[in-house]
Amino acid sequence: MSTLADRYPSALVTGASTGLGAAFADMLLGEGIDTWGTSRDAARLAARPRLHALALDLTDGNAAERIFLDADRAAGGFGIVVNNAGYGVFGGFAETDFGVWQTQLEVMLVNTARLARLALRSMLARNRGALVNVSSGAVRFPLPFQGAYNMAKAGLAALSESLMVETAGTGVIVIDLQPGDYRTDFDRSVRRSPESFTSRQRRAWDAFARMMRSGPPPPHAAAALRRALRRGRSGTVRTGRFFQAVAGPFLARFGPSSWIRAFLMRYFESAP
């Protein structure tokens, strides 16, 4: 029986120094796959056999493309590319300077899509590969006061759906991985200004932080990705606690959108 390493001997994971990205990289390394892990500061990537630390900052799209192409050539063409890097910003959409939202969209959607395009072009030329775009459960259940994050993840999911159709019949698969809340340091790294929170924002932030702290550990998401890669077919993979992976998507599919909004306002206590 072939292994993942037989099919995909090399991989790249963006945002691999912490959280889900680190778990994805660990999983791929455990499968015997040479893995390039990226971080804005390569020194944050702990040295391990088969891990190639790579400094890559998605705030500069042109530089990110050059770095990706150099690494892709060095790897002989990445078999797997996991677009995972991202960050959160918490604040009122109207009150926050629009440049903050624009930068987040450029990093998490526009420049991530640039890497997806390069990865896909290389994979199609070899007629083999797996492109994994890590979107979020926020695609169906958007997080209050994190508008640009929701937009970026929804856009990335839409891109993945489009590419699944474009790559049908080829040797390339596209996976839209939609994790729910996981027990990472994501909430501690979200950019916010607590001193300016309104009472609604404070309630929503406290609920969000509790949700993140009570989620499954990151290896749970990595195991879901491993199963999807082993299946070897395109599709959407929802992972997280039961509500986010199963019950929530069922509600979103068959229930009216007003139910979802009511649920979100109650859960995050953000109603007036």
Active-site positions read: 149
- Amino acid in position 28: L
Cα–Cα distance for residue pair 65/72, rounded to 1 Å: 10
φ, ψ for residue 184, nearest 5 deg: -125, -175
Question: What are the distances in angstroms from CA 30 to CA 80, 132, 222?
Answer: 14, 18, 11
Element (H, E) at 252: helix 248-254
Q: Decide: 48 and 25 in contact? Cβ < 8 Å.
A: no
Under 8 Å CB-to-CB from 257, ≥6 apart: which residues? none
φ, ψ for residue 52, nearest 5 deg: -110, 110
Crossing angle, helix 111-126 and helix 147-166, to 10 degrees?
20
Crossing angle, helix 147-166 and helix 98-105, to 10 degrees?
30
